[in-house]
Structure 1
Amino acid sequence: MTAERNRARPSFPPLTHEWDADLASANPLRFPGYDAPAPQDESVRTGVAPHPRGPIAVVECRFDRHGGTMGVAAGERIVRAFGRAREAGLPVAAFVASGGARLQEGMLALTQMARTAGAVGRFRGGCLPFAAVLRPHTTGGVYASWASLADVLAAEPGATIGFGGPRVVEQVTGSLPPRDSHTAEAAYAQGRVDALVGPEAQWAWLGDVLYGPGPALRLPPGRPRPTAPRAVPRDAWDAVLHARDPSRPSGLEWSALLTEGWVELRGADPAVRAGLAVMAGERIVVVAMDRHAHGDASARVLPAGYRLAQRAFALAERLRLPVLALIDTPGAEPGPAAEADGLAGEIAQTLLVMSGLTVPTVAVCVGEGGSGGAMAFAHADRLLALEGSVFSVIGPESGAAVLYRDASRAPELARSFRLTAAELARLGVVDDVLADGDVGAVRSAVVAALREARPGERDARVDRLARGQLRVMPGESRMIRFETKGMVG
């Protein structure tokens, strides 16, 4: 769809208040043949538009005006818009179509990248959401500055999306990019945008993002459904097999069962899903592991999955929303490609982000918690487990291969790990065990945990667990003093 058609069918109602309509560029370079646009012809409009769920501050970048490029006046309008939105307590919606920095205004245009990014940073301090739609076409310095900093990002189908437009790519590399590159569809497949949204649905989508609740989460066909509770096997190895049952709902199913509204936060790893969700009428952030992502009930988490979790946790912190993490994975993917992509560092970073959250956090193990790959989601103020779930320091097969050089001894090792939900509760690792098949009871327990959890309880629990198992050996206790020049330790 062309930019002209977009202007013929705007995606939002008329602005009730337009901001800075009198600002124009002074043509700083006196560039040959360039006439700085009059205020009404500038590429950016800003103001407030009504929405049924509440007013929204709007930034519109128009491709039909100087290719949507950002010069001094456009940058100033954007900077002021984010400042006014924060002062007024308004969320921001952006409609972006741009060729980047305005070449005829040279470095003064390029510096608007830093100015507008800084304005978004200051706006974030107000705990207000910012969402954007990338329209035909969005490239260059606008995309690489304030537009890409949106909390949630959509693209219009068929739009060209990329830092370098196709002509720039051809000039630099000697050939045009492939047809499946630099497109909205490619950005969506790679997890760089959260949704593909046509012009007629963009204003409604922005309302879902900025105010909620969003539509209910729809599951793909053929996904497992909750069944009547089944007795949990007494034997630990049988309990592991029970938790891995392909007919058992995973994190994505439980996300749909527990929430009423969902706005997807998209990543590049289908084994982790995240969303701005509504549960019992309250907005929360949900991050869910999905062991059925590849259809074999054994999906492992890639580094990209942990990066999505970090993004979701950080967004929850910024918007002051509680977090619900749903755990079900045999573990992180240990292959060479994942190692090359920084698997260990991403797990560590996820733990670091989660440990620093100052909003309530609840994690529920709904199936299998496998090793550090699962622990990255489990450091929550309240850790719950479905009665048919298991959580272990390592998968029993891998553990047996390490300890005994014999993976066939996995059943024996599983019994030593005390990995069932009931045993973990007795150890104090989990706070409560929930009935598997009772969706209403699970929802009630999770809602109560989210309301009652206090940030920092996670640290108190794990510290208590560790210190309760320490021993002080008999004998004289000595303090060792190390001294170096200028330092005493």
Structure 2
Amino acid sequence: MELAERGRAVLTRIAALPDDAWVSCRGCRAVVHGSKLRRADNVCPECGHHGRLGARERVGQLADPGSFEEHHADATGGDPLEFTDKLAYPDRLAKARKGTGLTEAAVVGTATMGGKPVVLAVLDFAFLGGSMGSVVGAKITYAAELAGSLRVPLIAVSSSGGARMQEGILSLLQMAKTSAAIGRMRRAGVPFVSVLADPVYGGVSASFAALGDIIIAETGTRAGFAGRQVIEQIIRQALPKRFQTAEFLHEHGHLDLVLNRSELFLVLRDIVACHAAAGTKPAEAVPAVAVQSEEADVWDVVKLARHPGRPNALGYIERVFTRFVPLHGDRWSGDDEAIVGGLAWLDESPVVVIGHCKGRDTPENVRRNFGMPHPHGYRKAMRLMTLAERFGVPVVTLVDTPGAYPGMKAEEDNQSGAIAEALVLSAGLRVPVVTVVTGEGGSGGALALATGDRLLMQQNTVYSVISPEGCATILFGDAGKAPDAARALRMSAPQVRGLGIADELIPEPEGGAHTDPAAAAAAIADALRRALRELHGTAPDALVAARYRRLHGYGSVTLPSPTGHHPIEENAHV
């Protein structure tokens, strides 16, 4: 409580600063002019330390001017336990209300961001440490229900020490209550963006704050379930300085983005705009250009597909899409840089783009594991696919991998299970899925991102069950016979199209995509416009049924349904 009172005092002091006042930064101890600090939203201009904002200041930072309409501003609770520590609970509440001007630690309501409607829910750390009791739980639950009914995104900004001890078990149960409300909102297909502002711990961290489809933390935010001092006391050892910081959590796959406060509104505005523009028809595209299909030597095509100068996924994302908000992490164990993805715009049409990503030089290739994902890379891809379904936007995947990473750690983390779950998810995804093979399409590691409604292949790309070297080693007993294996596998783009697998070949500049990346990207953009326009407006049930029919038809033989009915009709809702 002493920490909460200090936080409240700091906020009150900043809000009441006269124009000529000076304040000492809590980060670097520099003396900063009060008016300068206010203009910077309480971010120190000397060291970048992010001081706390009150709930109303935060609403003012995020909502379009004059757009916020608060709901249930006067909601108050009781004293169910008749709790007393140094102060009786009613007296502590009265003190917090006087110090902050709020009736409780949460402010909720409707607003617009960039002209698009949202529901906002903001916790104020200055009110009893932003702790979650019955009223805060009720307000967060109400905000989720309101967003679900209006079908607009919920944006929650959390700054909290956790569950409110003065309300005992009733406070603990707010964790389940708010989580259940977010779950209902998810099932309704309404997105939730969770913003973490220093600090976020305990019952808030382990409930609604951790359930965002997108989770963003401000620079320097500390977050976790148990606090640092508690952990050190229990395990009897000192923790690393960066432990539980936003940057630490980002590295471990828990967060999508870590942003400076000045960047927060712009990114949130783009996320909200993506949801608002869902269903926008893709722009017209020029007709497809026929690719000359004279048989090049397949081994030569393999070498072009692997050319180190060939654009990687980020290179194409930068050129094909007009805007891109990168998202990170699998929410479990890490952020696999062999998979990149996020929200993107093809002209004015939002999509979620996901791609295998090789490096552009040796150090980057090592960092990205040469485009070979670990299981947490596929879990990251699945999270982004689910996000696309929640936003109601198509998925575009860019395939370029020798295959899934075959190491010991990958097997320990269940590489097979991760790939299999990705296949199940993408087969039943209720939004269009378009795949572009931009280099190597190697084995199940490629297929995990390639189970969709359209398969497009650049002219000089390959797609097969195994690498030529792997096939040569296993079947020819000599890896040096990889060129012969490549020819036997019939893995070039024209050959894959000849097997009825690829829907369209995308022309490349003479000599390969690496000779003119901009022209190669322009051809991909046109192919995507054509494919997405074809799929636009298809009902989700029909989309999933057609995808199942497509998958059902692959192979040299198919069997009739054991029920005597067409398998598509039986699986329309799979």
Task: State the alpha-carbon separation in 2 of the partners of residues 153 and 459 from structure 1.
Answer: 33
Structure 1 residues 238-277: aligned runs within 5 Å: 238-267=300-329, 268-277=335-344
Say yes or no: does 1:117 pair with 2:179. Answer: yes
Moved more, 337-346 or 28-37: 28-37
Match of 1:386 among 458, 463, 474: 458
Any idea what SS the aligned residue of 1:202 has? helix
Q: Deviations over 1:87-116 (max 9, x none)?
A: 223321111111111112111101001100
Give the share of equivalent positions with the same residue, in percent: 36
Closer, same or farther in 2 for the Cα pair 1:232/1:241, shift >3 Å?
A: farther
Are the equivalent residues in 1 in contact too, given 2:55–2:123 (CA < 8 A)? no
Match of 1:310 among 368, 374, 382: 382
Say yes or no: does 1:28 pair with 2:103. Answer: no
Point out where structure 1 has 5 or more consecutive residues left out of the alignment: 215-228, 473-489
Task: State the alpha-carbon separation in 2 of the partners of residues 118 and 461 from structure 1.
Answer: 37
Point out where structure 2 has 5 or more consecutive residues left out of the alignment: 1-48, 277-290, 330-334, 510-518, 561-574
Task: State the alpha-carbon separation in 2 of the partners of residues 436 and 2 from structure 1.
Answer: 48
What residue identity is the alignment partner of 2:421?
A: Q
Matched residue, 1:203: 265
Report the Cα offset of residue 251 of structure 1.
2.0
Task: State the alpha-carbon separation in 2 of the partners of residues 100 and 337 from structure 1.
Answer: 35
Say yes or no: does 1:371 pair with 2:446. Answer: no
Matched residue, 2:351: 284
Report the Cα offset of residue 165 of structure 1.
1.3
Matched residue, 2:433: 361
Closer, same or farther in 2 for the Cα pair 1:471/1:42, shift >3 Å?
A: closer
Task: State the alpha-carbon separation in 2 of the partners of residues 51 and 25 from structure 1.
Answer: 31
Task: State the alpha-carbon separation in 2 of the partners of residues 254 and 81 from structure 1.
Answer: 38
Q: Deviations over 1:117-163 (max 9, x none)?
A: 11111222343322121111111111111111111111111111111
Task: State the alpha-carbon separation in 2 of the partners of residues 313 and 128 from structure 1.
Answer: 15
What residue identity is the alignment partner of 1:246?
A: P
Match of 2:114 among 52, 58, 68: 52
Task: State the alpha-carbon separation in 1 of the partners of residues 126 and 412 from structure 2.
Answer: 43
Matched residue, 1:449: 531
Task: State the alpha-carbon separation in 1 of the partners of residues 427 and 327 from structure 2.
Answer: 21
Report the Cα offset of residue 25 of structure 1.
2.1
Are the equivalent residues in 1 in contact too, given 2:340–2:356 (CA < 8 A)? yes
Matched residue, 1:67: 129
Moved more, 325-334 or 200-209: 200-209
Task: State the alpha-carbon separation in 1 of the partners of residues 434 and 481 from structure 2.
Answer: 34
Closer, same or farther in 2 for the Cα pair 1:6/1:406, shift >3 Å?
A: farther
Say yes or no: does 1:462 pair with 2:512. Answer: no
Report the Cα offset of residue 324 of structure 1.
0.6
Task: State the alpha-carbon separation in 2 of the partners of residues 442 and 396 from structure 1.
Answer: 26
What residue identity is the alignment partner of 2:347?
A: A
Matched residue, 1:180: 242
Are the equivalent residues in 1 in contact too, given 2:108–2:139 (CA < 8 A)? yes
Matched residue, 1:408: 480
Matched residue, 1:422: 494
Q: Deviations over 1:352-405 (max 9, x none)?
A: 110111211110101000011001111111011000100111011112222233
Match of 2:197 among 131, 135, 147: 135
Report the Cα offset of residue 272 of structure 1.
0.4
Any idea what SS the aligned residue of 1:29 has? coil
Task: State the alpha-carbon separation in 2 of the partners of residues 165 and 102 from structure 1.
Answer: 15
Say yes or no: does 1:440 pair with 2:505. Answer: no
Report the Cα offset of residue 447 of structure 1.
1.3
Matched residue, 1:350: 422
Any idea what SS the aligned residue of 1:234 has? coil
Any idea what SS the aligned residue of 1:445 has? helix
Any idea what SS the aligned residue of 1:237 has? helix
Structure 1 residues 312-351: aligned runs within 5 Å: 312-351=384-423
Any idea what SS the aligned residue of 1:273 has? strand
Report the Cα offset of residue 171 of structure 1.
2.8
What residue identity is the alignment partner of 1:86?
A: G
Are the equivalent residues in 2 in contact too, given 1:133–1:202 (CA < 8 A)? no
Task: State the alpha-carbon separation in 1 of the partners of residues 170 and 137 from structure 2.
Answer: 10
Any idea what SS the aligned residue of 2:352 has? strand
TM-score by length of 1: 0.88
Q: Calculate the aligned-residue CA RMSD, in Å.
A: 2.4
Closer, same or farther in 2 for the Cα pair 1:380/1:390, shift >3 Å?
A: same
Match of 1:12 among 62, 78, 100: 62
Closer, same or farther in 2 for the Cα pair 1:46/1:8, shift >3 Å?
A: closer
Are the equivalent residues in 2 in contact too, given 1:101–1:109 (CA < 8 A)? yes
Matched residue, 2:467: 395
Are the equivalent residues in 2 in contact too, given 1:131–1:210 (CA < 8 A)? no
TM-score by length of 2: 0.75
| Matched residue count | 457
Closer, same or farther in 2 for the Cα pair 1:113/1:412, shift >3 Å?
A: same
Report the Cα offset of residue 51 of structure 1.
2.2
Task: State the alpha-carbon separation in 2 of the partners of residues 312 and 75 from structure 1.
Answer: 28
